[in-house]
């Protein structure tokens, strides 16, 4: 196969399909989404069988347990995929929404209207549920999408993709609205990233190395987050029972996700009481702890954290700990080592909570809740196309509205500019 010609045909088909899906009505798009959800549930057994092929290959090649967890399709995750698609179908269609309307003194009536972006490329790793999530969101927002998953999930992705195209055909939509790059050679990504004549935006989902490679090579605008170095600050006024439960959840519930806590920051006044108790729970859960000198004085059996550790997104059962004298140090630590993704404070002091939310410059800032909620489904978006730490166009979980642009429509009755 000539990969350049293969990609060239895909991007051309997507450009053509983008014009038809942009004008598709809500009823038709929702019908396609409901077909997708039903077909995913009905195909659960075959999806798991294809996924097992990917799991077996991942285990043979020595991929980490965290990566294998992201890769695995369970009954609950398949059900969650279908539910996410149904939730997207139930959401209001953003396309055609009147964002603003006004009349100028010269009689021109100007409307600002929400429209699709056009053609979107999603490049992602490991998690096959992204195939369904991304396709469904792009479809509802009137965009054509080109999906390029990682080679580690190729069998799972192809199986899901076949369901997507079947659903599009049932609904009478152009099957090229959703396309999957089925070749695993990296060369395919290189050609995709140069197709700026046909593609409007690229959204990479995966590790920092993947995202930096995409940014460096792309001639197309990229919406990105490099990594999720998320923090929880346990304030001196924290409810310690709540703090222990939240911190444990944020680290261990799914450590391989970008919204998992990587560093726990503790006020020194409560550290002697709080730290030993929470450390025991983490160690029982096989979490490796690394801490600053003050932490080491309380927990002398743990490793000492290095400066590099505090910059690290582990995506694994490893946790950094830092003890601070005052909240200013916690905020400064997050500013220095954080990735502007998700950070939280645990406190019963409303002034400290409000100050934290104002001064911590992250896409999602929490008070008394786990950072694991930074997720499109949990935010009521049905799913997400990714979590952006950029500040232009989109920030945080990207749902339907973040997959749109707008245009100005101007009505006149013969006005001429003087």
Q: Where in the chain is the domain with CATH 3.40.605.10?
A: 3-223+398-411
Q: Name the helix (H) or strand (E) containing 364.
A: strand 364-367
Measured between alpha carbons, how far is residue 260 from residues 104, 227, 330, 341 in Å?
Answer: 50, 11, 18, 10
pLDDT reported for residue 225 = 82
Q: Is the pLDDT of residue 79 over 80?
A: yes
Residues 283-295 pLDDT 10s = 999 999 999 999 9
Residues 118-170 pLDDT 10s = 999 999 988 899 999 999 999 999 999 999 999 999 999 999 999 999 999 99
Main-chain dihedrals φ then ψ at residue 71, nearest 5 degrees: -80, -30
DSSP per position, 160-185: HHHHHHHHHHHTT--GGGEEE-----
Q: Where in the chain is the domain with CATH 3.40.309.10?
A: 230-373
Mean pLDDT of 85-93: 95
Residues 233-278 pLDDT 10s = 999 999 999 999 999 999 999 998 899 999 999 999 999 999 999 9
pLDDT reported for residue 302 = 96
Q: Is the pLDDT of residue 383 over 90?
A: no
Give CA torsion, residues 259, 263, 268, 271, to 10 deg: 80
Architecture field, domain 3-223+398-411: 3-Layer(aba) Sandwich (3.40)
What CATH number labels 230-373?
Answer: 3.40.309.10
């Amino acid at each position: 196969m000539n990969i350049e010609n293969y990609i060239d045909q895909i991007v051309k088909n997507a450009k053509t399909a983008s014009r038809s899906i942009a004008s598709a009505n809500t009823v038709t798009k929702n019908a396609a989404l409901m077909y997708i959800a039903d077909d995913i549930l009905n195909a659960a057994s075959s999806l798991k069988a294809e996924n097992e092929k990917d799991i077996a290959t991942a285990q043979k090649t020595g991929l980490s347990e965290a990566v294998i967890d992201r890769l695995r399709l369970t009954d609950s995750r398949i059900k969650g995929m279908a539910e996410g698609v149904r939730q997207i179908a139930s959401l209001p269609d953003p396309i055609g929404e009147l964002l603003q309307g006004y009349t100028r003194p010269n009689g021109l009536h100007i409307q600002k209207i929400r429209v699709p972006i056009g053609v979107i490329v999603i490049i992602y790793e490991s998690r096959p549920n992204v195939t369904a999530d991304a396709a469904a969101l792009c479809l509802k927002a009137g965009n054509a999408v080109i999906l390029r998953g990682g080679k580690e999930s190729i069998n799972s992705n192809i199986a899901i993709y076949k369901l997507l195209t079947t659903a599009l055909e049932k609904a009478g939509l152009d099957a090229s609205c959703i396309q999957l790059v089925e070749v695993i050679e990296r060369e395919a990504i290189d050609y995709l990233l140069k197709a700026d004549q046909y593609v409007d935006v690229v959204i990479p989902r995966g590790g920092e190395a993947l995202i930096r490679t995409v940014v460096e090579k792309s001639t197309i605008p990229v919406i990105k987050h490099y990594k999720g170095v998320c923090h929880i600050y346990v304030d001196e006024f924290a409810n310690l029972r709540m703090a222990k439960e939240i911190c444990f959840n944020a680290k261990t519930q799914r450590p391989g996700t970008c919204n998992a806590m990587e560093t726990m920051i503790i006020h020194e006044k409560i550290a002697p009481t709080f730290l030993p108790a929470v450390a025991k729970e983490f160690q029982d859960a096989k979490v490796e702890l690394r801490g600053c000198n003050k932490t080491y004085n309380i927990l002398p059996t743990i490793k000492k954290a290095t400066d590099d550790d505090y910059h690290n997104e582990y995506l694994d059962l490893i946790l950094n700990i830092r003890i601070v004298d005052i909240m200013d140090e916690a905020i400064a630590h997050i500013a220095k080592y954080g990735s502007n993704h998700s950070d939280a404070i645990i406190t019963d002091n409303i002034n400290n909570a409000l100050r934290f939310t104002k001064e911590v410059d992250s896409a999602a800032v929490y008070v008394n809740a786990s950072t694991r909620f930074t997720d499109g489904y949990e935010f009521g978006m049905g799913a997400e196309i990714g979590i952006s730490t950029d500040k232009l166009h989109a920030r945080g979980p990207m749902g339907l509205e973040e997959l749109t642009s707008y245009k100005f429509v101007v009505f006149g009755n013969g006005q001429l500019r003087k």
